[in-house]
Amino acid sequence: MLKGRHLIEPGNLELSEIDEICQLAEKMYKNPAEYAEVCHGKVLATLFFEPSTRTRLSFEAAMLHLGGSTLGFADAASSSSTKGETLADTIRVVSSYADVIAMRNPKEGSALLASKYSSVPVINAGDGGHHHPTQTLTDLVTIRALKGGLEGHTIGFCGDLKFGRTVHSLLNTMSRYPNNKFVLISPNELALPEYLVNSVLKAKNIEFTTSERLETVIDSLDILYMTRVQKERFFNEEDYIRLKDSYILDKEKMKLAKQDMIVLHPLPRVNEISVEVDDDPRAAYFKQVRYGMFARMALISKLLGVL
């Protein structure tokens, strides 16, 4: 039963609960009109202490499509935190006005703190480098819909695997499903943190390989999850120049991939996926955005107990 619960990290959800949310999201995707009034009279507060486009609008669109309403702010400068109000007091106040809160804050652990002072469910919309659980739900709904399930895939994570919270959360969650294998594609400077390799992949005896070059492994992938390689993460420009083009997905690299591979990206994209790939039927990152709205619709409905 998800009613009244907080969602701070993907690990808060049992696999059965994740499957329940994904199934509902798929039903909503296929027949949105059936769910157009399920949250009538309910209010979502979006508290974004740092700028966001997709995530904030996706939450607001989700609530509006459910027949509810929204209130909140899109920048810390619009809140009383500029006057010195504590996060705890802000949450106490806002939970008096709303039925559910979606919050993004640059400080790690802020969502967990908010959940301790809120009288309504809190959804973590990103707390610094820690967690972004609704992006993970978005990824899972997309994979289920386009690949038929969450088991038995070879998943390639490409780019910044060291600092990418979306990569960490999705790898953690997909490792909970049987027969998934991982290919970790990154420069050594941005490799997956050793603690994740040890605590997730090695501890669970999950098959994985590493590569510094995308083109040498892309033919083995069922799912390619792209992220940006950031110049500022390198100690010297020579290494960046040597490796940066290895992580630009273009038509030539796509020719090497399976015909049913899908390409995902948490967005925003910079130059790591060439625009020439957008017309490829395997490019699923804009479909992913739409699935994200339905993932959040399903989650909100479950936390509010209306479905």
Catalytic residues: 54-55, 83, 104, 132
* The residue count for the chain: 307
Helix or strand (DSSP H, E) at 184 = strand 181-185
Task: List the one residue out of 137, 141, 126 whose CA is nearest residue 170.
Answer: 137
CB 111, CB 103: distance < 8 Å: yes
Give the whole-angstrom CA distance, residue 303 versus residue 307.
9
Give the whole-angstrom CA distance, residue 188 versus residue 208.
16
Dihedrals phi, psi of 176, to nearest 5 degrees: -80, -15
CB 30, CB 22: distance < 8 Å: no
Helix residue ranges, H only, the chain:
15-30, 54-65, 87-94, 110-117, 133-147, 165-174, 194-196, 237-243, 251-254, 285-304
